[in-house]
Each structure stands twice: as structure tokens, then as C-alpha cells.
Amino acid sequence: AAPRPAHGCGSGALLGRFGVLLQALLALCAFSTLMLKRFKEPKAERRPWRIWFYDTSKQAIGALFIHFANVFLSDLTEEDPCSLYLINFILDATLGMLLIWLGVKVVSWIVQHKKYTYLVFGEYGDPPQAAAWIGQCILYLLIMVFEKTVISLVLLIPGWTKLQQILLGYIPNPQLELVLVMFVVPFIVNAIMFWVVDSLIMRKYKQKDTLDINGSTETPRARRTEESQVLLSPDMDFDQSESDQDVSGLWGTNQKMKQPSYQVVI
């Protein structure tokens, strides 16, 4: 076996006690961004906790698959596993993100074309059905398998070894390298990826353009137009008899003002 360099992680460092602790901390911090995203949603469109769990758990399953696949691939060679894990992670966050977006779009188009309602990402029925969530998890996991397969084929291209040698070669401390590779960089990138992917697979809540009033639908624009017309037009809701009395009263007053006054002198 080729000798390992003096710097870098040793074999099995990613699954050591310190590495597992960093991974657990990473998972906690990264998925807290999804909770923050839920609270940033408008109150009228904020997902219930059950729907939020259904949406985010798909990402959790996909992220765990990608993570353990990267850990497994990083220990296959005699190279520095931290550097190889970082290369895998960078490719997942760049080219892999594009593949995930493409996979979600293609799967969504096929599902809508075949009219599989419960397999539309973010749609779980009313009330929400666990079967729909399971089906969507399987579809999303298949997208992750497709993405990781393409990334693994890209890594077979010659030239990655040189990049791997210089990527973290300036860090002599293996513990510091492990912190950067397993926590700092993944946390920043995963927070962005989770936010973007959650927006892709969540239900798109459209603005409610119609309001049901006494069984009829009325758009907000039409309602505002009608209100403005009512405000600008004379009040037509008062009693007709009262209006006739007021008009006759005004007419009588005008007649009295027009009639000449006479004084009788005896």
C-alpha cells in the first residue's frame, strides 16, 4: 500500500468518535435552517407541522444517503479521505444540485402527465396521507441515486488526484481538517441546498384570487373596483319614500320663495 502523507485524515477518521460527533452536530445545525425557513414563510401560507415534516423528511433521507455514500467512497482509496470527501461534497453542491433540479422537474412532469396526484411533490391529500409521503420519498431517493451515480462517474475522470493533493495540503492538523471538511463547509453549503431544494419540492401555495361570498366567486380586483364605484356613486340605499318627501319638501320651499308676498291695506 502506498504510504499516507504526513498531513490529512487517517483511514476511518470520518467514522471515528470525533467524526461522528461532528456529523451529528452538522445534521442538527443544517436541519435547523429548514425550521427557520418555515417560520420565515407568510402566516397565511405557513405549512402545518405535519406537512413540514413530510416535506423536509424527504431531504433528510436524501441527504443521509448522499452523506454515507460519500463516506464510503472516501475510504475506498489510500488517498486522504477528508480531501476525497470534500471533492465529493463540492461536486454534489454544484453539478449535483443541477442534477437534482433536473430530476425533480422530469419526475414532476411525468407524474402530472400520468395524473398520479399523490406523487406530486408536496401534495399529500386532504387529510394528508402517509402513503403519498412514502411514494414521494421513494421518488426523491431515486433522484439522489441518479445524482450520486453521475457524480461517481465524473470522479473517474483523471486529474482529480492532483486537486485532492493540494486541496487541504496546507492544513497540517488532521483534527482541524476534519472540522473543516465535516462541519464548517458542509454546514454552509447544506444550509443553502436545503433551502433551495425545499422550495422545489414543497407545495406551491398560490395567492387566493377568489373569495366565496354567498356562493359566488369574486376577484379582489373586481371587489376593489366595485367598492370604488360605490364610494364614488350617490347613495342609492336610502328609502325611496323618504327621498320623495325630501324632494317635495325642497320643491315646496322653492315655490314659497318664488311666490310674491302681498300686504292687504284696509
> Does 182 fall in a domain?
yes
Note the Cα 134 to chain centre separation in Å: 19
What does DSSP assign to residue 237? -
Radius of gyration of the chain from its Cα atoms, rounded to whole angstroms: 34
Contacts of 50 (CB under 8 A, 6+ apart): 128
Q: Grid coordinates standing for 107?
A: 419526475
The string of pLDDT tens digits covering residues 111-162 is 989 888 888 888 888 888 899 999 999 999 999 999 999 999 998 887 776 6
Q: Which residue has the cell 300686504?
A: 263
> Does 263 fall in a domain?
no
Is the separation of the CB atoms in 88 and 74 below 8 Å?
A: yes
Q: Name the residue range of residue 85's domain.
A: 13-204
> Does 43 fall in a domain?
yes
> Does 7 fall in a domain?
no
> Does 265 fall in a domain?
no
Total domains in the fold of the chain:
1
> Does 97 fall in a domain?
yes
The string of pLDDT tens digits covering residues 45-86 is 888 888 889 888 888 898 889 988 988 888 776 667 888 888
> Does 126 fall in a domain?
yes
The pTM for the full model equals 0.66
> Does 60 fall in a domain?
yes
